[in-house]
Amino acid sequence: MIDDILVKKLLSQIVKKDYEENLKKRFREVYLDEPIPEGMDNLIGALELPPEELQLIDNNIQDSVDNTITPIIKSLIDGIETDEEIAEKTGIKLNIVRKMLYKLYDLKIANYKRSKDPETQWFTYSWKFEKDELISKIKKDTEIELSKLNAQLEEEEQNMFFVCPYGHVRVNFDVASDYDYQFLCPACDEELEFQDNAEIIENLKANIAMVENDYDSFIKKVESWL
C-alpha cells in the first residue's frame, strides 16, 4: 500500500517543499525585488533551470521518498514507536528521522503521544501512523486535482485561443477581442495569432485518464488495507 503511486505523490510533497524554499532563495538572489512565483513549476520556469538539474532534483525527491520517508512509515506501521528505535531499525540518522516525523506530523499523517518516564523524568514520544488521515488526504487532493483538470478541459473545448507569436500572452476569444486587447499583445503590440489547441485537449484528456486510473487502483488497495 505504501508503495502506491498516489501515496508516493503525497509523500513527495514533503520533500518538494524543501526544494521550493531553496529555489525561492535562488530566485531572490537573481531577481532581487521581483515578486516570487508561486509553486515549484513556476519557479523552475522563471529560473530557467537546465534539464539536467531538473532531473537531479527529481531523482533526489524520489530518493528521499523511497529511502527515507517510506522506511520510516513502514516502521511505524510495524508498530515501532520511538524515533531512536526507528533510526536503529532503518539505519537512517536520528536527526533525519526526527525531522521527517515532524514533517509527517505537519501533514497530519503521523501523530505522537508524550509521556514522562517516572524514574528518569524524561519525556518519551511514541509515534503512530495515521492511516485514515493519509487516505482521506489523498481522496481530497485527487478530487481537487480532477476538478481543476476537468474545468481546464472544459475551458479549452469551449473556447478559441489566441497567442502572442513571442509567447507573452495566451487568451481566449472574449479577452482577445475586448477593448483592452483588440487582438494585439499588450506587451509587444504584435498581432495575436489563432492557436489550434487540439494537442492541449488531447494531453489534458490523457492526464485526466491517468489520474482517474491511479485513483481507481488506490481505492481498490484501500479496501483491502482497511
Instruction: Restricting to residues 70-109, name those near Zn ion by CB under 5 A.
Output: none
Q: Quote the least distance from Cβ 186 to Zn ion, whole Å.
A: 8
| 195 scored as a contact of Zn ion (CB under 5 A) | no
194 makes contact with Zn ion (CB under 5 A): no
Q: Is 69 in the site for Zn ion (CB under 5 A)?
A: no
Toward Zn ion, which CB reaches closer, 11 or 185?
185
One-letter amino acid identity for 139?
Answer: K
43 binds Zn ion (CB under 5 A): no
| Cα separation, 65 vs 28, whole angstroms | 28
* Contact call for residues 214 and 5 (beta carbons, < 8 A): yes
- Among residues 11, 6, 5, the alpha carbon closest in space to that of 139 is found at 6
Please choose, from the candidates 191, 196, 195, 166, the residue with its C-alpha nearest in 3D space to the C-alpha of residue 181: 191
Number of residues near Zn ion (by CB under 5 A): 7
Provide the residue type at 98 as one letter.
Answer: R
Q: Does 188 bind Zn ion (CB under 5 A)?
A: yes
Q: Which is nearer to Zn ion, 47 or 184 (CB)?
A: 184
Q: Least distance to Zn ion from the beta carbon of 173, Å?
A: 18
- The residue (of 56 and 188) whose beta carbon lies closer to Zn ion is 188
Q: E strand or H helix at 220, and its extent? A: helix 198-225
Give 126's DSSP letter.
Answer: E
Residues 127-186 that bind Zn ion (CB under 5 A): 164, 166, 168, 185
- Interior angle at CA 171, CA 192 and CA 173, nearest 5: 80
Contacts with Zn ion, residue ranges (CB under 5 A): 164, 166, 168, 185, 187-188, 190
